[in-house]
Structure 1
């Protein structure tokens, strides 16, 4: 015999009520984490490209921009991305990117940061379009927050 949605909900509620307060807290945290991970909207980032009909604006999810940047930074020798964040203005135009990396021990840090910045700027041009304001309009901050001598971490 199939259970109705209400019967399933009643059964689940009764099962949860049998748990202690501590058990409920654990169940509640897990339920909230699952709910939050199920749907997490990503901020829009405005792109702009040339078309035969003229310039065209479009939007890219910030998560997509971050994933693309992560891929480009991972390709830079002696660097691995840790955290990448995007900041936009009130019109969803990208104004800043902050990239935290782990660097190879004993590598010159300034040239490494410059290589990461070049890789990020190049990828942003691809993702956000050839007319998106990048040259000087988008600050690309590179923070070296860790160093490692283990090549598996790079």
Structure 2
């Protein structure tokens, strides 16, 4: 099976970023991770664009326990995912941060034109891993680092 840019990026993230997430107490498998604590559940997810040339990390926190959706379904704590965290409680780690929850791909981590060598993908993955303290700051105290984009109004 030929290596595509997205496969190369995923491989780099799995070998560089995922061990950092695991060391921080997150469980799960690529691209979705969670960290269950007594008072909160933290989520981190890798999200790719459709063309397969860029990505961002999205994070959020949810109180422990089950969740009743707006349509009445009850979701057990074990089945909670980032998608159940309200948009205003999430943040995106991107190449460039900004207010208003920018979804513009030019702000995302781009690997367009990286070619077939795994090295540039690993370097980008290492750069993203070095920004994980910004995710921790958001999850702990809603601190907005320079590479975070949020939907929060406060």
Q: Considering fraction of residues, name the structure with more helix.
A: 1
Q: Which structure has the bigger radius of gyration?
A: 1
Q: Considering fraction of residues, name the structure with more strand.
A: 1
TM-score (norm 1): 0.24
TM-score (norm 2): 0.24
